[in-house]
Amino acid sequence: EQQVASGFHRNTLHNTEGGADPEEDRVKKTVDRTNTVGAIWLGLTVGCAQCHSHKYDPLTQREYYQLYAFFNDIDEADIDAPLAADQERLRLAKAAFDAEHAKLTDAVKDYEATQLAAAQATWEATALKEAVVWRTIEPTTASSKNGATLQRQDDASWLATGTNAVSDVYTVEAVVDAERVSAIRLEVLPDKSLVKEGPGRADNGNFVLTTFTVHASPTSGDQGPQKIELTNAKADFSQNDWQVEKAINDSPTDGWAVSPEIGKRHVAVFEAKAAVGFTGGTKLTFVLDQTYNLSNTHNIGRFRLSHTSAQLPVTLEGMPVEVANALAKAAAERTVDEQKQVAAYFRSVDPELNRLN
């Protein structure tokens, strides 16, 4: 009942003229409500105190605006109240829209029912050969030059804790079961333990990767490590003047950084000028050098490495490993879950289905 009784406050004049000032109009309505309550419900000419304390009644200007404040935080939205003719126009327009839209949704259903399976079979014949599959690298060792502790996380990433010395250098060693390594991917990841969730350890959550190098060697024999020449660096985001390609140049005073995109996952990819790999496995040694400035602790807080054997150029993201593993099997040998994974992934990349949708 109180809500209904206060409904008369909606009867203020509302100016929707193009040249009207919305805030001025809102203040006018607030004054109108204040004065109406004063005159009708209090029996006072409170409006006199809008500009000065009341000359005849015991009401100060301050008290006027204390009363005004009750109405000054109303968040009003214009709500359409369509008439019967408006509703009929909407009904006809909606019916016309639904008829046209049904043609589009029917085309999707028809494609799914009659062509999607064949399209998937055609795609599967070459999908694995053409796909970019990023396989997570499991390091055998990960160390910090200046005393930080690198802790392995459940997702195969590494989190830097403890000492956060100026210009740290991380060295990571791993053995991968691959006779061809064509590109390396570095993910820098947010973490709640980092300032502003990172992905860096600086006081603003940033980092600077000055130089990123990779060496490869066979897992057996006397052949020493050879440096992989990296090229065509790209990332999902780079800070102004701190582009990712500067992490593989010859300058020790620049590098890759990501401010102001802090607290987010970022991805960098570095392609090998010539693919490397050895029979029986390949040992990879990564050096993440962050010595761009001898007065800052712009070290990476959390990171993960992966590799691919795909033909160049490669993309930042790629086919999920579980889908690639399923595609490596004959269709009849896949489990129900693997069949669902392959089908769901194909639906996400099928150009014709995406066009129809």
Mean pLDDT of 51-75: 92
User: How far lies 130's CA from each of 36, 115, 126, in Å?
Assistant: 75, 22, 6
Cβ atoms of residues 256 and 199 within 8 Å: no
Q: Are 130 and 308 contacting, i.e. CB atoms less than 8 angstroms apart? A: no
pLDDT tens readout for residues 105-153: 999 999 999 999 999 999 999 999 989 999 999 999 999 999 999 999 9
Per the CB < 8 A criterion, the answer to whether 204 and 195 are in contact is: yes
Does the structure show a pLDDT above 70 at 180?
yes
Plot region of 108 (φ>0 → left; ψ -120 to 50 → alpha; else → beta) = alpha
Cα separation, 219 vs 174, in Å, equals 10
Q: Which residues contact 254 (CB under 8 A, 6 or more apart)?
A: 210, 241, 242, 246, 292
**DSSP annotation string for 99-145:** HHHHHHHHHHHHHHHHTHHHHHHHHHHHHHHH----EE--EEEEEET
pTM: 0.71
Residue type, 78: D
Q: Is the pLDDT of residue 328 over 70?
A: yes
Which pLDDT band, with edges at 50, 70 and 90, does 103 fall under? very high
Ramachandran region, residue 316 (left: φ > 0; alpha: ψ -120 to 50; beta: rest): alpha
Q: How confident is the model at residue 172 (pLDDT cuts 50, 70, 90)?
A: very high
- d(C-alpha 297, C-alpha 132), whole Å: 35
**pLDDT beyond 80 at 79:** no
Task: For residue 4, count CB atoms less than 10 angstroms from its CB and return exposed for 0-12, middle for 13-18, buried for 19 or more.
Answer: exposed
* Alpha-carbon span 161 to 201, nearest angstrom: 9
Element (H, E) at 353: helix 351-356
Mean pLDDT of 270-274: 97
Confidence tier at 15 by pLDDT (50, 70, 90):
confident
Phi and psi torsions of 17, nearest 5°:
-60, 145
What is the 3-class SS of 49-95, one letter each residue? Answer: HHCCCCCCCCCCHHHHHHHHHHHCCCCCCCCCCCCHHHHHHHHHHHH
State yes or no: pLDDT of 294 exceeds 70: no
Q: pLDDT band for position 178 (50/70/90)?
A: confident
Q: Is the per-residue pLDDT at 221 higher than 90?
A: no
| Mean local confidence (pLDDT), 12-22 | 86
Q: Are 50 and 39 in contact (CB under 8 A)?
A: no
pLDDT for 295: 64
Residue type, 65: Y
CB 178 within 8 A of CB 310: no
Residue with tokens 């996952």: 265
Res. 46 pLDDT band, cuts 50 70 90: very high
Cβ pair 300, 190 in contact under 8 A: no
Residue with tokens 């998937």: 120
What is the rounded CA–CA span in Å between residue 285 and residue 181? 13
Cross-strand partners of 162: 148
The whole-angstrom separation of Cα 50 and Cα 280 is 89
C-alpha of 198 from chain center: 14
User: Stretch 331-344: mean pLDDT, rounded?
Assistant: 95
